[in-house]
């Protein structure tokens, strides 16, 4: 990477994925979310089942994306909400692309959002992608 501050050398928020893991098929839970989510993957993963989702609409921040997901989960029909409650793990995975500039970046999650995540029995996970990926031509989104 050169010393110029091109877009690829900037630390930035990418997106939030909702990663769900369960001992049962998650297709009906995912289907109930409809077109409000983009399904990255749903199916078997090793000895378990997993679903990896993004919001269909692009949010401006990690906080607003997580709140959007929380709203969808809170609005699930009773049967699908019971499935959600039976899952093994629920992660809101915040993706951040590390860059050379600025020296530090803050991506705040509001207290009300943290409470909403806790009420859903979920975790907030921070995934930071190395700036070395940029120099290899790999893009993450």
Give yes or no for residue 138 having a pLDDT over 70: no
Handedness of CA 46, 74, 63, 57 (dihedral sign): positive
Residue 42 or residue 60, greater confidence: 42
| pLDDT, tens digit (0-9, with 9 covering 90-100), for 22-56 | 999 999 999 999 999 999 999 999 999 999 999 99
d(CA 77, CA 97): 35
Domain ranges of the chain: 13-135
Report if pTM > 0.95.
no
- Per-residue pLDDT, averaged over 16-22, amounts to 98
Q: Where are the beta strands (DSSP E) in 3-141?
A: 12-22, 37-45, 48-55, 89-97, 123-129
Give yes or no for residue 5 having a pLDDT over 50: no
């Amino acid at each position: 990477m050169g010393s110029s501050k091109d877009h690829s050398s900037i630390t930035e928020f990418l997106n939030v994925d909702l990663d769900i893991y369960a001992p049962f098929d998650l297709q009906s839970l995912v289907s109930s979310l409809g077109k409000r989510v983009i399904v990255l993957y749903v199916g078997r993963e090793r000895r378990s089942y997993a679903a990896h989702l993004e919001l269909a609409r692009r949010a401006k921040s990690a906080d607003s994306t997580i709140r959007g997901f929380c709203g969808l989960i809170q609005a699930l029909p009773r049967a699908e909400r019971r499935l959600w409650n039976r899952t093994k793990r629920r992660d809101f995975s915040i993706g951040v692309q590390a860059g050379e500039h600025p020296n530090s970046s803050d991506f705040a999650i509001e207290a009300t959002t943290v409470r909403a995540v806790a009420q859903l029995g979920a975790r907030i996970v921070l995934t930071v992608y190395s700036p070395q990926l940029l120099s290899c031509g790999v893009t993450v989104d």
